[in-house]
Amino acid sequence: MCFFRYGGEPGAMKPVKAVTLWWVLLLVSRLGATRKESLEEGSFYYGTFPLGFTWGVGSSAFQTEGAWDQDGKGPSIWDTFTHSRKGNVLGEETADVACNGYYKVQEDVALLRELHVSHYRFSLSWPRLLPTGVRADGVNKKGIQFYSDFIDALLNSNITPIVTLHHWDLPQLLQVNYGGWQNVSTANYFSDYASLCFEAFGDRVKHWVTFSDPRTMAEKGYETGHHAPGLKLHGTGLYKAAHHVIKAHAQAWHSYNNTWRSKQQGLVGISLNCDWGEPVDISNPKDIEAAERYLQFCLGWFANPIYAGDYPQVMKDHIGRKSAEQGLDMSRLPVFSLQEKSYIKGTSDFLGLGHFTTRYITERNYPSRQGPSYQNDRDLVELVDPNWPDLGSKWLHSVPWGFRRLLNFAQTQYGNPPIYVTENGASQKLHCTQLCDEWRIQYLKGYTNEMLKAIKDGANIKGYTSWSLLDKFEWERGYSDRYGFYYVDFNKKNRPRYPKASVEYYKKIITANGFPNPQEVESWYLKALETCSINNQMLAAEPFLSYMQIMTEIMVPTVCTLCILIAAVLLMLLLRSLS
């Protein structure tokens, strides 16, 4: 069964802005001339992951918890952004209830057990712990209790918590009073908040992620305005936000290193999301440079300061030159002082990587639109191959080989750091109640296999987090994109969960710690599709059940009442005729 919740194709997000037919044709002809997929790229690699490799799934607080104003939680910028109902979110959806996760801890831990994962990556809601965002204003004890119980429930099930401190839901009052990430003070408030979390949960949590995908937070929050707080400070706001986020990350790391590490023996890192950028023409130096630029503006923007002490040279050059052309006497890219550089360098115990898809990159050889912007600063064009399978989200094409290249790039650029894959996954193709998610299985299989190849190449990958446990609130896309292993029925009050076929498949990869041999891997696939058709029937039966409910609750009493009335009338007539 299929229900189409929203008409038309929403235009909220189009990362590939300049794909015209002309470009696509050019791409196809150039690809044909220059590229032959190597055998190794196309082939499947059978083998297992290193001993101790950790498998998990992820989620974030705002996307799943709901209970947005319960038990003392303060509002976040995303509560405000979704409540403003100015077309910010597809279908004017909010995350007031989301997956109702705040009230379903035991149930969700049971799902994690069923998946056989060894870790669960989730985020803490800053305003649930500090309602105003400022520690000195008071801590919400019920918030501490909630996460404390959750962490205990995971540990009791032998599931390691990987905890993100900030996944975009900034306390609203920090935005209103101080301008959020535009103000360097927010870095201090973040550091105080981080210390509170280390203090409250660090006895049990050994893996901390300071920020999740800060690039998207900066770009969509402060440049395009598609995310909270919805500001459009073109060409400036995002660089300033990122600058303060990097400082905040470093402060939190130092606070852990100085105060908590000796007692708690944990790790603190950051999670950066980046697609792979492949040159359109690998024999054209301009395309190679453009692809390198794409990666530096994406991953290097945050990773370079943390691993090498400063922004990538190519960002400094490009933004500096454009700023001068625009008549500014200073670069729009902020500058770290010498002291800050050495303070920031080396502040990551591991690199968290989020990755979903790949782009072909070529240099932009036509003049840019007027005015400063991130797009103009990069001087490049992003393209997709029309042959790549497209998944549920418009921007998400399945290109497994790009994952291996990104992992190898991170390995060589940043001195072979320990890497945790913190996000990787696929959304659903149709607005259907499809539990037979074959394409997610293919994506999972292809991407994890390329990760295995990257490990054989020498990348130091410690764990993999598939995105995500549940279908959930997908930011400006509302509930239209479904990334979950578990289907969530958002039309029902208590948000029931149903396993998709990929649950069965992922469980098999985890149990085997890889891909043992062709026969076995093939049997997983068949088994997964078998179980899902049963589950699909279960789900399809739901509307019938509620129809039955209407029958029993309304029809039966009505009919009975009518019967009694008719009987009464007949009895009266009978009595009258007798008398």
Ligand X SMILES: *[C@@H]1O[C@H](CO)[C@@H](O)[C@H](O)[C@H]1NC(C)=O
Tokens of 539: 């789900």
| Member of 54, 70, 118, 183 binding ligand X (CB under 6 A) | 183
| Member of 34, 70, 80, 185 binding ligand X (CB under 6 A) | 185
CB of 233 to ligand X, least distance (A): 13
Q: Which of 195, 199, 351, 347 is nearest to 263 (CA)?
A: 199
Nearer to ligand X by Cβ, of 123 and 175: the residue is: 175
Asked whether 73 and 95 are in contact (CB, 8 A), the reply is no
Nearer to ligand X by Cβ, of 115 and 238: the residue is: 238
| Member of 334, 346, 418, 516 binding ligand X (CB under 6 A) | 346
The verdict on 259 binding ligand X (CB under 6 A) reads no
CB of 99 to ligand X, least distance (A): 34
Nearer to ligand X by Cβ, of 244 and 497: the residue is: 244
Q: How far apart are CA 208 and CA 158, in angstroms?
A: 18
Q: Please provide the distance, in angstroms rounded to a whole number, between the alpha carbons at the two ends of the chain.
A: 61
- In the bound state, the residue with its beta carbon closest to ligand X is 185
CB of 68 to ligand X, least distance (A): 25
| String marking each residue 206-245 x if it binds ligand X according to CB under 6 A | ----------------------------------------
CB of 261 to ligand X, least distance (A): 6
Classify residue 340 by burial, with Cβ atoms within 10 Å: 0-12, 13-18, 19+. Answer: middle
CB of 221 to ligand X, least distance (A): 16
CB of 188 to ligand X, least distance (A): 7
Nearer to ligand X by Cβ, of 183 and 408: the residue is: 183
Nearer to ligand X by Cβ, of 348 and 535: the residue is: 348
Q: How far apart are CA 430 and CA 350, in angstroms?
A: 36
Q: How far apart are CA 375 and CA 550, in angstroms?
A: 55
Interaction residues for ligand X, span 359-378 (CB under 6 A)? none
Q: Which of 293, 296, 376, 372 is nearest to 17 (CA)?
A: 376
Q: How far apart are CA 336 and CA 342, in angstroms?
A: 10
Please choose, out of 82-90, 177-185, 408-416, 547-555, the segment that lies near ligand X by the rule CB under 6 A: 177-185
CB of 259 to ligand X, least distance (A): 9
Please choose, out of 125-133, 175-183, 201-209, 326-334, the segment that lies near ligand X by the rule CB under 6 A: 175-183
Please calculate the CA angle 515-59-195 and round it to the nearest 5 degrees.
115
| Member of 15, 72, 179, 309 binding ligand X (CB under 6 A) | 179
CB of 346 to ligand X, least distance (A): 6
The verdict on 178 binding ligand X (CB under 6 A) reads yes
Nearer to ligand X by Cβ, of 121 and 240: the residue is: 240
Q: How far apart are CA 388 and CA 31, in angstroms?
A: 13
DSSP letter (8 states) at residue 475: G
Nearer to ligand X by Cβ, of 216 and 257: the residue is: 257
Q: Where does 65-135 have alpha helices with state H?
A: 77-83, 105-115, 126-129
Q: Which helix (H) or strand (E) holds 426?
A: none
Q: What is the three-class DSSP state of 139? A: coil
Q: Which of 205, 203, 240, 206 is nearest to 221 (CA)?
A: 240
DSSP letter (8 states) at residue 524: H
Interaction residues for ligand X, span 104-143 (CB under 6 A)? none
Q: How far apart are CA 226 and CA 216, in angstroms?
A: 10
DSSP letter (8 states) at residue 268: E
Q: What is the three-class DSSP state of 397? A: strand
DSSP letter (8 states) at residue 349: S
Size of the site for ligand X (CB under 6 A): 6
Q: How far apart are CA 416 and CA 368, in angstroms?
A: 37
Nearer to ligand X by Cβ, of 66 and 230: the residue is: 230
Cβ contacts of 517 within 8 Å, gap of 6 or more: 46
Nearer to ligand X by Cβ, of 80 and 183: the residue is: 183
Per the listing, tokens 């009505």 go with 558
Nearer to ligand X by Cβ, of 158 and 258: the residue is: 258
What residues are labeled active site? 423
Please choose, out of 176-184, 216-224, 393-401, 521-529, the segment that lies near ligand X by the rule CB under 6 A: 176-184
Asked whether 293 and 318 are in contact (CB, 8 A), the reply is yes
Q: How far apart are CA 48 and CA 515, in angstroms?
A: 6
The verdict on 47 binding ligand X (CB under 6 A) reads no
Please calculate the CA angle 522-524-526 and round it to the nearest 5 degrees.
75
Q: How many CA atoms lie within 13 A of 123 on its CB side?
A: 27
CB of 243 to ligand X, least distance (A): 14
| Member of 257, 259, 284, 408 binding ligand X (CB under 6 A) | 257
Per DSSP bridges, beta strands 267-273 and 207-212 are parallel
CB of 174 to ligand X, least distance (A): 9
Please choose, out of 178-186, 446-454, 481-489, 529-537, the segment that lies near ligand X by the rule CB under 6 A: 178-186
| String marking each residue 423-442 x if it binds ligand X according to CB under 6 A | --------------------
Asked whether 486 and 497 are in contact (CB, 8 A), the reply is yes
Q: How far apart are CA 248 and CA 302, in angstroms?
A: 12
Please choose, out of 179-187, 239-247, 403-411, 492-500, the segment that lies near ligand X by the rule CB under 6 A: 179-187
Instruction: Give the residues lining the site for ligand X (CB under 6 A).
Output: 178-179, 183, 185, 257, 346
